[in-house]
Amino acid sequence: MKIIGTGSALPQKEISNDMLAGFLETSDSWITTRTGIHTRRLLSTETLRELATKAAQAALASSGLQASEIDYLICSNVANSYVSPSLGSILLGTLGCVCPTFDLNGACAGLVYSLDIADSFLKTGRARNILVVAAEQPSRFCNWHDRATSVLFGDGAAAMVVTEGKGFRDFRLTGVPHTDVMYYKRSLEPTPFDRVEERTTPLVMEGREVFRIAVESCINDVDVLLQRNGLTGADIDKYLLHQANMRIIECIREHLEQPREKFPTNIQKYGNTSSASVGILIDELSRAGELKDGQTLMISTFGGGFVTAAAILDWSAIQY
Ligand code: ACO
């Protein structure tokens, strides 16, 4: 499977750390030092559906395919205003695609989970051209009175068109039930038969524990993929890691003993955009000509659950 088109879209509204310090007990220096984040983009007047559509249209345009040529749409999303229909179904309408679709919740690892499924669909001949969209609005499930979580996230969308061809070499996906270290709970409708009240709980996170699990699991995935494919850390041209915290990225880099230039980041500008993060990074690098033909890339992502998804691929340059 190879990527033949990429796109991304971000909200227009840029929120600085100082703006957050206007209503939260925090500071630019705390946020910058602990996370590396300077600004994030948050949805205000636009909608997530619009962002997702924009990212998908950009991916389609760069792939040279028409919406009618897409025969599967996989949408990675943790939460949006509809539980049903799926965000994927909504996007069929805005994009003009006529194909099967479903939403996948792989938390921040959802884009790579979606790519893994797309790879299986292509290998089994279920589809020829697949559109993968990751669209996330974590700002809507944060507790905006909680300075320890709300400062970390940003909204955004990314998309990729994938088809048969040489590109992805290997995937590694994992799941371990650490459900208590990070969760967002939505309310359910009351029933006369179930007295247990189900109230919405905005994002709860044990930051230090998530940090520890993230570093450990990401290193593990990268090591396993390198070993399984007969590679060393030096054979990878770029490490494209989930943009959750600059210090997490730095810990992984130190373990791998690889130079900083191999670890491009955009967390400074966008914060953690959940499953869209690595897709936005790939789209920006690809459009800037920073991903070269034949380069070997390592993608590694992790998210609440706890789930991880990593992949090795050989890049084919895309014409924009
Ligand atoms: N501003 C100022 N002070 C703060 C803030 C803030 N925004 N947030 C927390 N603090 C305070 C705490 O209250 C605490 O104060 P205390 O010592 O008086 O109790 C102090 O700072 C230290 O808090 P810690 O939580 O220990 O700080 P830490 O260095 O661990 O940094 C952080 C916190 C940034 C959340 C870090 O743990 C982290 O990044 N964890 C990983 C989070 C993550 O990546 N989550 C998403 C992963 S999965 C996915 O992407 C969906």
pLDDT digits 0-9 by tens, 155-198:
999 999 999 999 999 999 999 999 999 999 999 888 999 888 88
Q: How do residues 3-47 score in pLDDT, each as one tens digit?
A: 999 999 999 999 999 999 999 999 999 999 999 999 999 999 999
- Residue of 57, 6, 70, 66 lying closest to 319 (CA atoms): 6
- Considering the domain architecture, whether residues 306 and 175 belong to the same structural domain is answered as yes
Residue 270 belongs to a domain: yes
Please check whether residues 65 and 182 belong to one and the same domain: no
Q: What's the pLDDT at 190?
A: 86
Residue 279 and residue 243 share a domain: yes
The token duo for 155 is: 């909204």
Domain membership of residue 320 (yes or no) is no
Same domain, 132 and 258: no
Tell me how far apart the terminal alpha carbons of the chain are, to the nearest angstrom: 20
Tally of structural domains, the chain: 2
> Domain check: are 9 and 142 in the same one?
yes
> At CB < 8 A and 24+ separation, what contacts does 12-16 make?
12/41, 12/45, 12/46, 13/41, 13/42, 13/43, 13/44, 13/45, 14/39, 14/40, 14/41, 15/39, 15/40, 15/41, 15/42
pTM of structure: 0.97
In a domain, 178, yes or no: yes
Q: How far is the CA of 207 from the centre of ligand 1 (A)?
A: 5
**Tell me, what's the pLDDT at 241?**
98
Is the beta carbon of 244 within 6 A of some atom in ligand 1? yes
Q: Is residue 152 part of a domain?
A: yes
Which pLDDT score, from 0 to 100, does residue 305 have?
Answer: 95
Query: Given 133, 166, 199, which residue is the final one in a domain?
Result: 166
In this structure, are strands 129-136 and 156-163 parallel, antiparallel, or unpaired? Answer: antiparallel
pLDDT at 228 over 90: yes
Residues 13 and 160 placed together within one structural domain of the fold: yes
What residues are paired with 157 via a beta bridge?
9, 135
pLDDT tens per residue across span 42-87: 999 999 999 999 999 999 999 999 999 999 999 999 999 999 999 9
Q: Distance from the CA of 195 to the center of ligand 1, in angstroms? A: 35
Tell me, yes or no, whether 208 and 270 share the same domain.
yes
20 and 110 within one domain:
yes
- Taking residue 93's Cβ as centre, other Cβ atoms within 10 Å add up to 11
Query: How much is the pLDDT for 197?
Result: 82
**What tens digit of pLDDT does each residue of 246-259 get?**
999 999 999 999 99
Is 38 one of the annotated active-site residues of the chain? no
Single out the residue in 123, 147, 166 at which a domain terminates.
Answer: 166
272 is catalytic: yes
Active site residue: 17, 218, 242, 251, which one? 242
Last residue of a domain, one of 107, 140, 166: 166
150 lines ligand 1 (CB under 6 A): no
Measured in Å, residue 147 CA sits from the centre of ligand 1 at 8
Task: Please report the pLDDT score of residue 198 as a whole number.
Answer: 84
**Same-domain status, 231 and 182:** yes
Tell me the C-alpha distance between 238 and 252, whole Å.
Answer: 13
pLDDT of residue 271: 98
Q: Do both 185 and 289 map to the same domain?
A: yes
Q: Examine residue 73 and state whether it is found in any structural domain, yes or no.
A: yes
Domain coverage including residue 65:
2-166
Nearest alpha carbon, ligand 1 atom 38: 207
Do both 107 and 252 map to the same domain? no
List the CATH number of the domain containing 162: 3.40.47.10
Is 52 a domain residue? yes
The mean per-residue pLDDT over the stretch 198-223 comes to: 96
Q: Is the CB of 278 under 6 A from ligand 1?
A: no
How large is the average pLDDT for residues 108-126?
Answer: 98
pLDDT at 225: 98
> In degrees rounded to 5, what are phi and psi of residue 211?
-55, -50
Q: What is the pLDDT of residues 260-290, one digit of tens each?
A: 999 999 999 999 999 999 999 999 999 999 9
Residue 137: closest CA among 69, 215, 82:
82
Joined together, the tokens standing for residue 4 give 């033949």
Domain-embedded: residue 319: no
Q: Let me know whether 226 and 157 are in one domain.
A: no
pLDDT recorded at residue 196:
82
pLDDT at 124 over 90: yes
Q: Is residue 48 part of a domain?
A: yes
* pLDDT, mean of residues 77-98: 97
